């Protein structure tokens, strides 16, 4: 289980994905985008809109079971992207780099970008916006819902 949690709201995700699009715009033009499912789908949609990129492909990788890291497996290949030339690979997060390395092997000439990056995965991506510590679990808006949380003062004393 993670030591820290970082909660990302829909507004924050949209701002961060748009900031990533600004960085990527300078590095273009791009033929298309490959979204890593599922986490990369929403950032890829935002970036595709901002860059006016109409060709959006996906690659499906299964790695996590809840918070447990497992063996990465490709369940859908990004056929339209070829070797990745002129394509962006978009994901929400690079954690250990396991998924990123697998996708890089499929699309060696693509530019890899994530919204968030952890230290272990950071060397595998080309562009990212926000770094978080390795022991932080990011709670994305599609994984959470609003609820009451007691003030810290009511919790255990350390």
Task: Identify whether 150 is part of a domain.
Answer: no
Q: Is the pTM of this model over 0.75?
A: yes
Q: What is the pLDDT of residues 5-54, one digit of tens each?
A: 999 999 999 999 999 999 999 999 999 999 999 999 999 999 999 999 99
Residue position matching structure tokens 């272990």 = 120
Contact 103, 49 (CB under 8 A): no
Task: Identify whether 17 is part of a domain.
Answer: yes
CA 111, 91, 61, 57 dihedral sign is negative
Contact 43, 142 (CB under 8 A): no
Task: Identify whether 67 is part of a domain.
Answer: yes
Range of the domain at 39: 4-144
Say whether 92 is catalytic.
yes
The CATH number of the domain holding residue 40 is 3.40.50.2020
Q: Name the catalytic one among 91, 126, 135, 143.
A: 91
Task: Identify whether 31 is part of a domain.
Answer: yes
Say whether 83 is catalytic.
no
Q: What is the pLDDT of residues 112-132, one digit of tens each?
A: 999 999 999 999 999 999 999
Query: Residue 62 CB: number of other CB atoms within 10 A?
Result: 14
- How many domains are there within the chain? 1
């Amino acid at each position: 289980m993670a030591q820290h949690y970082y909660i990302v709201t829909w507004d924050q995700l949209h701002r961060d994905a748009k900031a990533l699009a600004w960085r990527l715009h300078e590095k273009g033009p791009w033929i298309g985008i490959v979204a890593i499912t599922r986490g990369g789908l929403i950032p890829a949609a935002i970036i595709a809109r901002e860059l006016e990129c109409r060709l959006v492909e996906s690659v499906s990788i299964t790695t996590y079971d809840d918070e447990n890291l497992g063996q990465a497996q490709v369940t859908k290949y990004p056929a339209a992207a070829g070797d990745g030339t002129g394509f962006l690979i978009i994901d929400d997060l690079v954690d250990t780099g396991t998924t990123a390395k697998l996708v890089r092997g499929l699309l060696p000439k693509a530019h890899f970008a994530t919204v968030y990056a952890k230290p272990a995965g950071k060397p595998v991506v080309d562009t990212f916006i926000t770094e978080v510590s390795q022991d932080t679990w990011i709670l994305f808006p599609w994984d959470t819902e609003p609820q009451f949380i007691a003030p810290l003062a009511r919790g255990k004393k350390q």
